[in-house]
Structures are given as C-alpha cells and as structure tokens.
Amino acid sequence: MTIELKTITVEEFEAFALSPENVEREFEFIGGEIVEVVSNPASSNTSVRISGFLFMYLQQNDIGYLTGADGGYWVSGERYIPDVGFITYAKQPELAYRNGYIPNPPDLAVEVLSPGNEDEKMRVKIANYQAAGTLVWVVDVEEKTVEVYVPGQPVKILRLDGTIDGGSVLPGFTLAVKAVFPVKHTPSA
C-alpha cells in the first residue's frame, strides 16, 4: 500500500516514520515515496524458512548479522526493509538497539514477493541494491522461482531444480530452491 504524498526528502521520511503515531508500523522510502510494508502468511513463512537456513550457516560461519522483516537499511539514499538481510561485521561492527535503519546497505537482501509488492517499486529497489553492491535474491512464492542479482552480472532465474549460491558474500553457502518453498500438507483424518 502506498501512502499518497508528494515526493519527500529522506529527512521528512524519517520524521514521519519515527513519529509517535507511526513508530509501531513499518515503512520503506522508495523513489521519494513512503511505502508501508504489509505482510502476508505465505511470504512470511518463506522468509522465515530462508532465515533458518542462513541462521544455521552463520552458526558455523560467524561473519555478520542476520536481520528479519523489522531490520531496515540505508540503500542509495533510500530506506529499505528486506524480508531477510545480512550484513558483515566488517561493514557494520555493531547494531543499534534504538529505532532506526542500519546506516549501510546489506551485503545480502532477500525480497519475498507478496501481493502488495508493486513491480515498479521492486525494480527501483533492485537497481539501488545493485548500485550499492548488494547481492539480491527475489523470491516469487507463486511461481516458485528465485531471481539472483549479483552486482555486475546478468540476473539468474532459478527454478525448483536449481541451487542458490551465497557467492563471495556467504562463502560455501548453498540452498536448494525446492527447500525454500513450503510443502503443501493435507489434514489428517
């Protein structure tokens, strides 16, 4: 859902997003507009599944912080909240406890598409992530695909038989695409 406002500055966005009436809500600042982040169960479940695999990797490879859908980042002058984010200790030695966005772009951003995502806004985010040097995985729950954006390389579209690779951001990390998507269960009688 887009809140219809004139194009604003990042300072105006931060004042709006951190105001007492909005502090409990999640917003992104994309292309000069305020966009409220709205969740849905299928996208959330997929995000948590990916987070779980990344968490297990980071238990063995303690190289940075993993954030969820409440962890925001500064990216190319805008403010984004990826469904899953990762940033190295080298780039961000400590995380702030107070409200706000991490003042650096993530090393990895996972964006799980939901019905509320606007294609135009997502393309702006991907372009800005890429300009900031961020590895991006765009997960389409309905199509069961993962688009992998590595800075300076053509996009790769992975299907259920594919494997996601962490590249230089997460050395040695691999994840079968089919493991990302929940299996449909039938109720037992």
Q: What is the pLDDT of residues 5-52, one digit of tens each?
A: 457 777 777 777 777 777 666 776 777 777 776 667 788 889 999 999
What is the pTM assigned to this prediction? Answer: 0.81
- 84-126 tens-digit pLDDT: 999 999 999 998 766 678 999 999 999 999 877 778 889 999 9
Domain ranges of the chain: 39-180
Task: Kindly provide the residue ranges of all beta strands, DSSP E only, lying in 5-162, ordered along the sequence.
Answer: 27-30, 33-36, 64-67, 73-75, 78-80, 84-88, 108-112, 135-140, 145-149, 156-158
* Alpha-carbon span 89 to 112, nearest angstrom: 24
- Cβ atoms of 82 and 122 closer than 8 Å: no
Secondary-structure class of domain 39-180 per CATH:
alpha beta
Side-chain half-sphere exposure of 75, counting CA atoms within 13 A: 31
